[in-house]
Amino acid sequence: MTPEQASRIVEADMRAHSVVIFGAPEVDADQPPSAQQKPTKQAVSDILDYLDVEGRPTEIQRMCIREVGKCRLIECLFSSRKFFFQTLKALRNYADFKNVFIRRSMIPVKREIGE
């Protein structure tokens, strides 16, 4: 197995446990990265609390480059697929998060073809 193949396998496994959240507010860009991470983690925690999802992501990070006036995606990696599925299922039952969207994490090619 080549290092590239191993990398693809690890990435696919991580995506199987990951969700992407869009619509969570961002903090000011003039704050240091560590100060920006705390509100992001709190926003994810608030959403998961509201959805009654007990599990917490092992990793939470903003994706993409910051653009003025736009919210970046938040990728959340769960330790178990159980919490991944629980999160996706729970959001369908709540209308209070009209501006927050959660989907599974996909590679760009799959997003483009609409899988």
- Mean pLDDT score of the chain: 79
Please tell me whether residue 74 adopts helix, strand or coil conformation. Answer: strand
pTM here?
0.75
pLDDT tier at 26 (50, 70, 90 boundaries)?
Answer: confident
Euclidean distance between the first and final Cα of the chain, in Å? 28
- For residue 114, is pLDDT > 50? no
pLDDT 10s digits, 27-75: 888 888 888 899 999 999 998 998 888 889 999 999 888 888 888 999 9
How far is 46 from 24, CA to CA, in rounded Å?
10
Tokens, residue 30: 């003039």
pLDDT of residue 111: 43
